[in-house]
Structure 1
Amino acid sequence: MNQSQQLHMTVYASLFAALTAAGAYLAIPMGPVPIVLQNLFVLLTGLLLGSRWGLASIGIYLLAGAIGLPVFAGGTGGIARIFGPTGGYLLSYLPAVYILGIIAEKGQKTGKPFVFDLIAMICACLIVYGIGVPWLKLMTGMDWAKAFSAGMLPFLPGDGLKIAAAVPIVKTLRPVISGKFLPADTADEYY
């Protein structure tokens, strides 16, 4: 990767960190875990930037929040949020975006990005819940049924919508970010 490409990817990583922060401001309080749009930007980060740059972007986002910038849900920040009831969800973004990026990269190499992207987004959601729900249970003392009903079940329909929204966004932006502009007549073949 030459210096120009590296600069472009650094800008994209910063942009997606900022978009993830902006998505956290769109929060609907629902008990201990709010509904947020930041998950959509985490999905887009992994799909569009890949594993390494996606990890860097989400790392920047979490670091900004940990040092106190108001980038977490509801315009909050600070290390206490990472160790609070929703901290597992925040920390889960790192492995989720990395695995998401790996699967998406594999899809690009096989020529079947749509199928791999769907699998990647489902895996990312499972990672977020797989870390977030037990963390929520541990930090709040809830039983498992309550943790699942408060930390996962109400969010599944929204995650389905976010995955559906990510598909056309990725179809449009991936050729731009990767630097491969597809002719209009082959754009549909891309997905």
Structure 2
Amino acid sequence: MERNITLIALFAALIAGLGLIPKLTLAFGVPISAQSMGVMLCGTILGARRGALAVLLFLALVALGLPLLAGGRGGLGVFAGPTVGFLVGWPVAAFVTGLIVERWRAGALALTASVASVIGGIAVLYAFGVAGMAIMLDKTLVESALLVTIFIPGDVIKAVLAGLITATLARTRPASVLSRG
């Protein structure tokens, strides 16, 4: 029990820490922050339930006003902006990512965790994000989807990195990858 609480808090801190990494701008001008990779890692390493709880803890701290989101944002106001769908989708994305890694045992862990990150950390997350943008910006789902498609290449890079990090951690400290425990 204490170990679970510690790991949930540690991964909430990881998400916050990844928000401090300066944005990387791709060749075609699209900025990428590392924070969503933390959500993917919550699922791939902690598993579905613990991963979602880590993200919920992080979001609770943001709601309390801590400036933990990329760019130093925090407070209840971020839950009323156009990116609210992504924030709401983060715990679900971590859960789905973790569930896939827990259940899909065939194949290399790096591939499994990467594919799980693409499905949970991109497809599921974008479903929430696009819906939230459509509502908040009064746009159609197609218009909202077109606004975020430019970020997909960066998110795919993060998904592959999450898979490689998870596999490396499993090789060096197998007991620490709870999604496979």
Q: Please classify the TM superposition score into its range, dividing by the shorter chain length.
A: 0.7 to 0.9
Name the amino acid aligned to 1:55.
A
Partner of 1:184: none
Residues 26-50 of structure 1: CA distance to partner in whole angstroms, max 9, x if unpaired? 36499xx963211111111100000
Partner of 1:158: 154
Partner of 1:12: 7
Partner of 1:186: none
In structure 2, distance between residues paired with 1:43 and 1:66: 21
Partner of 2:166: 170
Aligned-residue identity in percent? 30
Report the CA distance between 1:119 and its aligned residue: 3.0
In structure 1, distance between residues paired with 2:52 and 2:8: 9
Partner of 2:19: 24
Report the CA distance between 1:142 and its aligned residue: 3.1
In structure 1, distance between residues paired with 2:70 and 2:98: 24
Name the amino acid aligned to 1:39.
S
Match of 2:118 among 115, 122, 138: 122
Stretches of structure 1 that go unaligned for 5 or more consecutive residues are 1-5, 181-191
Cα separation, partners in 2 of 1:146 and 1:25, compared to 1, 3 Å? farther
TM-score, reference length from structure 1: 0.79
Stretches of structure 2 that go unaligned for 5 or more consecutive residues are none
User: What is the Cα-based RMSD across aligned positions, in Å?
Assistant: 2.6
In structure 2, distance between residues paired with 1:166 and 1:77: 25
In structure 1, distance between residues paired with 2:70 and 2:84: 11
Name the amino acid aligned to 1:82.
F
For the pair shown, the structure with the greater C-alpha radius of gyration is: 1
Tell me, yes or no, if the aligned pair for 2:52 and 2:95 is still in contact at 8 Å: yes
How many residues are aligned here? Answer: 172
Partner of 1:96: 93
TM-score, reference length from structure 2: 0.83
Report the CA distance between 1:113 and its aligned residue: 3.3
